[in-house]
A = this chain, B = another copy of it.
Amino acid sequence: MKFQTSITDVKTNGTERVRGKELTELIENNTFTQTIFLILQGRLPRDKEEQMMNAIFTSIIDHGPATTSALTARISASANNPMHCALAAGILGFGERHGVALEATMHFFYENVETSDVSLLLKSMKEQKKYAPGFGHKVFEEKDPRAEVLLKKAEELGFFGMHCKFAKSVHTEINKISSKKLPLNVDGAIGAILCDMGFDSRLGRGIFVIGRIPGLVAQVYEEMVQDSGIRRLDVDDIEYIP
C-alpha cells in the first residue's frame, strides 16, 4: 500500500513541512485559520481570505443539541464512550439533510452560474421536482440573519462575485414561483461565497465538519459533565404498530 502525498512531508529526521512550510514556523507565526487555509488550498491566505474564513467557520460552530449530529454525539457519550468515539458518532449524524447540503449547494452554483435565464432554469427544475439547494428555512421567511451577515462581510471583503450574485438572482426568481417564501439560507450563502473564493465543491462538507467539530466537542463535554446516565426514549415516545 503506497501513498503519494503533497500535504505534509515528515522527514526521517523528525522535522515536518506542511504544504512546503516548516511546521515550527507556522506554529510561531500563523493563526489556526491561516493554517487550515494553507492545508486545504496549498498556500497561506491573504488577510481578507482569512477574515472571510473566520466568519464562515464561526457561523457554523454550533446549532444546539436538537440537530442530528449533536444528538448522535451526545447519545453515544451517554453510553459512556470516549470523547473521540462520541465525536465520530456525531459526524455520522451529518448527512444529505444536515451539513452535507453545503456540497450540493456549491455544486448547484458552479453548474448553473452561467445560465442566461435563471427563471427558466428554476421552472424546469420545478417541473422535474428538483429543488434549488440553499434556499428555504423552517422559521425565517424573508432573510436568514446568518446568511445576511455573511453576505455583507463578503461584499466588504471583495468575495461577492458571480456566484453570490447568481444566488441573489435565484432568490428573487424562486420566490416568484414558490408557494412558500424561501430566503437564501446560511448554507446557500456559505456555498456561494466558497464558490467565489474558488473552493472545490468536494471540500464543502469538509469545511462544514471543520467549523462544527468544536460545537460537537462542547456538546459531548457537556454530556460528560452532566453525567445524567444513559439516554433512552421515554415509553410514551414509542408507538408499536403491529
| Interface residue A10 (Cβ < 8 Å from any Cβ of B) | yes
Closest Cβ of chain B: how far from A128's Cβ, in Å? 19
Q: How many copies does the complex hold?
A: 4
List, in ascending order, chain B residues with CB within 8 A of A8's CB. Answer: 62-64, 215
Contact of A98 among B2, B79, B149 (CB under 8 A): B79
- Is the pair B149, A27 in contact by a Cβ cutoff of 8 Å? yes
CA–CA, A86 to B24, complex, Å?
Answer: 28
List, in ascending order, chain B residues with CB within 8 A of A221's CB. Answer: 40, 200, 202-203, 206
- Is the pair B62, A79 in contact by a Cβ cutoff of 8 Å? no
- Is the pair A53, B75 in contact by a Cβ cutoff of 8 Å? no
CA–CA, A185 to B240, complex, Å?
Answer: 24
- Is the pair B14, A140 in contact by a Cβ cutoff of 8 Å? yes
A28-B149, A202-B224 in contact; A64/B238 too (CB < 8 A)? yes
| Chain A residues engaging chain B, CB cutoff 8 angstroms | 1-10, 12-16, 18, 20, 23-24, 26-28, 30-33, 35-36, 39-40, 53-55, 57-59, 61-69, 71-72, 74-76, 78-89, 91-100, 103, 137-140, 144-146, 148-150, 153, 200, 202-203, 205-207, 209-211, 213-215, 217-222, 224-226, 229-235, 237-242
The 10 closest A-B pairs by CB, nearest first: A79-B95, A206-B217, A14-B139, A80-B96, A89-B92, A66-B233, A32-B57, A81-B95, A88-B91, A88-B88
